[in-house]
Every structure is written in structure tokens, then in C-alpha cells.
């Protein structure tokens, strides 16, 4: 008998957890409407590390906090967010709260603002299990110690009784991770979890995250402005620009079969793996637009070296479309022309595009 066919690579990817479709999440301000998330679609599957990359202000955090129901002033102008098939945006606050922390947990950039200075670290970690699983104080304390040990903090029993200010930056971030994983969530959203840390500690914290993902069989949505962090870590990557998606694909596709000029720009601004002292990082010209006044057509056109302006690039918004494989999509009118472009040629300014 022949194998049954499975649509959209599901068999390779595991269980579909989160499905975001054409999400439009806006802030109405005195200055105008901030289109922080403007038509974003993606799926996250159990077991994968899904990275979200883009410059400051591209809508990464708002995408995550909207999913988490942590944006009280946001206006959902369109689209949907489904969690294991259930409509997250239509849920009551009570239902959403049960999922938040229990099934989806978030790790924030700055652990000092997220940890309460007046309670011990152990108590704060245990609190999650008390709320979501109804453990008593003693059980919660034991769970906290177990979690502290799991994130690699030495002497967990002693550490549980200490306060956040007694921890180093790296240890605090590990404590945040311990808090987030206490209820063994299916999805861990980590928003710039290591930007405040030095490089060595960054690597350690990311290692802990990866090990835990396997331990609790979850997925990770890893938000970072640093495509370098993504390299050895992410299974799939979504590049965001001006509240929209530029490109989504496997890490290998994004790095080696790039089909969006903005992704190329991010890659060219990375230190080269083989770079010596004389290496030159090439930043992307210009700066990201205000999300109140997003450029017409393709939002990237004022900064894009491949733009046809006047023409399609400033007149027509490019829709996401499939390029090199089923899951590799890009929002560029001229994606096919980029097949012959290399990061090196972007660095040196000698780009030759295809027909
Ligand atoms: N509460 C708010 N009210 C109005 N605008 C907001 C609010 N929160 C965020 N924004 C705007 O939404 C846009 C997207 O912000 P977001 O924080 O998602 O960016 P980001 O990609 O996470 O950037 P960074 O890398 O700096 O964290 C920005 O223009 C920001 O100014
Ligand atoms: S659509 Fe045009 S402006 Fe936008 S990325 Fe592609 S070439 Fe550049
Ligand atoms: Mg952010």
C-alpha cells in the first residue's frame, strides 16, 4: 500500500501548535495609527526553534505580546491566531490566562523588571506551579528547586532562598527561564533573552534553552535582532520589516538561498565567520520607517538597492509567495532575480542581478 500523502510537510514538522493568519494589530495614538503588525502569517510546530528577526521597531515584540494577550491597548484590525486549533483572540481573559504561563510562556529581555525584588527566586518560580497546577507550598518549592537545577544553576536548594539582586545577570536570566518552564509549556516565547548578557553567557543561556526544549518537548519562538544568533540555533526563520514579513524559510534557505533584499542586508551587516581584523560590515543604508507612515508599495523600497522606482516597488505591496521550496516564502516582486546575488557581492557593492 502506498504511503498516505500529508499536506504541507506536517509529517516532517510534528504537531501544529500556533497558527497566525494575516494578523493585523494596530495602536491608535494621537499621532496616528501605528501598524505594528500588518498582515503577518506563520505557523509554529512542536519541537522546532522558530526565530523572528528584524531591526528595532519591526513589530517582533508586539507580535509576541499580542499572541500572549499582553497588549491591552492593541486593536486587532484583522486576522486570526489559533492555539492548538482554538481561537486565541476570541477567548475570555480567564481562558487566555490559563494558557499563558501554562501552555505558552514568555521570557522577557530584562529579567530584573520581570522578577519581583521582594520575593525569593524559589518562591516566584514555584508560584507558577501553584497557580497553574494547584500545587501546595511545599510541592511548589520542590518544583522550583527542580527547575533551578534544570537550568543549570549550581546549589539549587540554596539558590531558591535567595533574592533576584543576589543573582548575576546570566543567573537571573536562567531563573527567568526556570520560571517560564515550570509548567512545562508547549511553546516558549523568548524575546531577546540574551541581549543584556555578555557573549559567553549568551551562549550558555541559549544552550540551556535548547536543552530544555528537548527535555520538555516544546517549541521555541526566539526573537532577536541578531541573525548571527539564529545561525546554529533556529530551524526556521521569519524576517520582519516594518510590521510585515520579508521572508520565511529554514535557516539554510535564509542564509544560502536568500530571496529578499532586506535579508541580504541583514546578512551583509553580520561579521563574517572567516572575518579577520580588516573585515568590513556593511550596514543597510537608511533607517526603518515609522509605522505610522509606512512607505507605499513595498515598505522596504526607499532602502532597497534592487527597487524599481517609480514602478512596481512603490506602487504595489508585494505579497508573500513561495520561492525555492514549499515553506520558503518571500515578499519581493523580483525575488527570482536575486538567485544570482551573493552576500559577498552585496558587501562589495558589485551586485549582478538575473533577468
Ligand atoms: N503600546 C504601544 N503604543 C503605541 N505604539 C507601540 C506600542 N508598543 C509598541 N509600539 C510601536 O510598535 C512598533 C513595533 O514595536 P516592537 O516593540 O514590536 O518592535 P521590535 O521589533 O520588538 O523592536 P526591538 O528590537 O527594539 O525590540 C514600534 O513602532 C513601536 O514604537
Ligand atoms: S519588492 Fe522591490 S523594493 Fe521591495 S524588496 Fe523587492 S525589489 Fe526591493
Ligand atoms: Mg522587541
Q: Give pLDDT tens digits for 244-292.
A: 999 999 999 999 999 999 999 999 998 765 555 556 678 899 999 999 9
Taking CA atoms, 5 is separated from 46, 322, 325, 326, in Å, by 20, 20, 17, 15
Q: Summarize pLDDT for 198-221 with one digit per residue, the tens.
A: 788 888 888 888 998 999 999 999
Separation of CA 137 and ligand 3 centre (Å): 35
306 Cβ closer than 6 Å to some ligand 2 atom: yes
Alpha-carbon distance of 236 to 253, in angstroms, equals 9
159-170: b (≥16 Cβ within 10 Å) or e = bbebebeebebb
Q: How confident is the model at residue 293 (pLDDT cuts 50, 70, 90)?
A: very high
Q: Has residue 344 got a pLDDT over 50?
A: yes
- Provide the 3-class DSSP secondary structure of residue 229: helix
Which ligand number lies closest to the CA of residue 260? 2
Ligand 1: residue of 29, 60, 227 to mutate (most ligand atoms within 8 A of CB) is 60
Return the residue whose CA atom lies nearest to atom 30 of ligand 1: 57
Q: Has residue 139 got a pLDDT over 90?
A: yes
So where are the chain's domains?
A: 15-234, 238-348
Q: Has residue 2 got a pLDDT over 50?
A: no
pLDDT at residue 12 in the model: 55
Q: Has residue 314 got a pLDDT over 70?
A: yes
Domain 15-234 is found in CATH 3.40.50.300: yes
313 Cβ closer than 6 Å to some ligand 2 atom: yes
Q: Has residue 28 got a pLDDT over 50?
A: yes
Return the residue whose CA atom lies nearest to atom 17 of ligand 1: 61
Separation of CA 302 and ligand 2 centre (Å): 9
Q: Has residue 57 got a pLDDT over 60?
A: yes
Averaged pLDDT, 321-332: 95
52 or 109: which leads in pLDDT? 52
Averaged pLDDT, 4-12: 41
Q: Summarize pLDDT for 140-192 with one digit per residue, the tens.
A: 999 999 999 988 899 999 999 999 999 998 899 899 999 999 989 999 999 99
pLDDT at residue 8 in the model: 41
Taking CA atoms, 237 is separated from 54, 228, 272, 325, 337, in Å, by 10, 12, 19, 14, 21
Amino acid at each position: 500500500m502506498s504511503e498516505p500523502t500529508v499536506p504541507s510537510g506536517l509529517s516532517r514538522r510534528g504537531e501544529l501548535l500556533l497558527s497566525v493568519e494575516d494578523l493585523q494589530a494596530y495602536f491608535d495614538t494621537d499621532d496616528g495609527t501605528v501598524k505594528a503588525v500588518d498582515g503577518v502569517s506563520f505557523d509554529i510546530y512542536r519541537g522546532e526553534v522558530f526565530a523572528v528577526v528584524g531591526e528595532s521597531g519591526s513589530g517582533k515584540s508586539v507580535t509576541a505580546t499580542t499572541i500572549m494577550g499582553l497588549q491591552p491597548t492593541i486593536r486587532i484590525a484583522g486576522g486570526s491566531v489559533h492555539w492548538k486549533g482554538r481561537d486565541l483572540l476570541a477567548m475570555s481573559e480567564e481562558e487566555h490566562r490559563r494558557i499563558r504561563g501554562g501552555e505558552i510562556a514568555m521570557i522577557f529581555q530584562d529579567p530584573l523588571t520581570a522578577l519581583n525584588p521582594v520575593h525569593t527566586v524559589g518562591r516566584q518560580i514555584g508560584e507558577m506551579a501553584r497557580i497553574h497546577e494547584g500545587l501546595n507550598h511545599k510541592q511548589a518549592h520542590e518544583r522550583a528547586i527542580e527547575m533551578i537545577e534544570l537550568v543549570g544553576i549550581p546549589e539549587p536548594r540554596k539558590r531558591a532562598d535567595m533574592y533576584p539582586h543576589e543573582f548575576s545577570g546570566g543567573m537571573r536570566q536562567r531563573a527567568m527561564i526556570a520560571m517560564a518552564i515550570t509548567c512545562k509549556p508547549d511553546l516558549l516565547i523568548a524575546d531577546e533573552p540574551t541581549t543584556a548578557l555578555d557573549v559567553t553567557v549568551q551562549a550558555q543561556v541559549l544552550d540551556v534553552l535548547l536543552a530544555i526544549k528537548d527535555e520538555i518537548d516544546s517549541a521555541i519562538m526566539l526573537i532577536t535582532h541578531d541573525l548571527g544568533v539564529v545561525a546554529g540555533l533556529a530551524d526556521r526563520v521569519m524576517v520582519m520589516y516594518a510590521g510585515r514579513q520579508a521572508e520565511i524559510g529554514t535557516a539554510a534557505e535564509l542564509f544560502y538561498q536568500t530571496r529578499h533584499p532586506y535579508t541580504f542586508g541583514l546578512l551583509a551587516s553580520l561579521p563574517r565567520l572567516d572575518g579577520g581584523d580588516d573585515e568590513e560590515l556593511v550596514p543597510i543604508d537608511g533607517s526603518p520607517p515609522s509605522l505610522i507612515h509606512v512607505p507605499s508599495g513595498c515598505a522596504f523600497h526607499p532602502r532597497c538597492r534592487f527597487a524599481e522606482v517609480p514602478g512596481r516597488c512603490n506602487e504595489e505591496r508585494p505579497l508573500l509567495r513561495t520561492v525555492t521550496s514549499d515553506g520558503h516564502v518571500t515578499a519581493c516582486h523580483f525575488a527570482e532575480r536575486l538567485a544570482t546575488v551573493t552576500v559577498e557581492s552585496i558587501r562589495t557593492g558589485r551586485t549582478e542581478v538575473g533577468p
